[in-house]
Amino acid sequence: HVQLVESGGGSVQAGGSLRLSCAVSGISYSNYCMAWFRQAPGKEREGVAAIDSDGTTSYADSVKGRFTISQDNAKNTLYLQMNSLKPEDTAMYYCAAGWFVPRGADQALALSSYNYWGQGTQVTVS
């Protein structure tokens, strides 16, 4: 049974930082690609960052240089370190897992690539 539980969201001023966590159960990191998505009110859900089983990372252009995705296999936890936050980063952030090896950033950040989703954690930047 796959379960993804996000935490770490909150309210922060522009320029500040947050670290999101996703507790993962029921998945072997050797078989899955993990990612963070976000959805702002009235907008489609979009891929933010992904990391595959080899540790290869992919980022949306809007967050490159500011966000870092990482995973701690021993703790079964996925992280998203968010620095230099902007008001346009305000959204519900979701952890996702998919059973595939991405062949590029487009696939790694595509909504349709992922089978399992968490409930989300809200990030508000003012």
The pLDDT assigned to 28 comes to 66
- Examine the pLDDT at 112 and tell me if it is beyond 70: yes
Q: Give Cα 117 distance to the centre of its chain.
A: 10
Buried (b) or exposed (e) across 80-105, using 16+ Cβ within 10 A? bebeebeeebbbbbbbbbbeeebeeb
The pLDDT assigned to 101 comes to 84
8 Å CB contact between 33 and 52 = yes
The pLDDT assigned to 30 comes to 65
- Span 52-90, pLDDT tens digits: 988 999 999 999 999 999 999 888 899 999 999 999 999
- Phi, psi angle pair for 53, to nearest 5°: -70, -20
pLDDT band at 118 (very low <50, low <70, confident <90, very high): very high
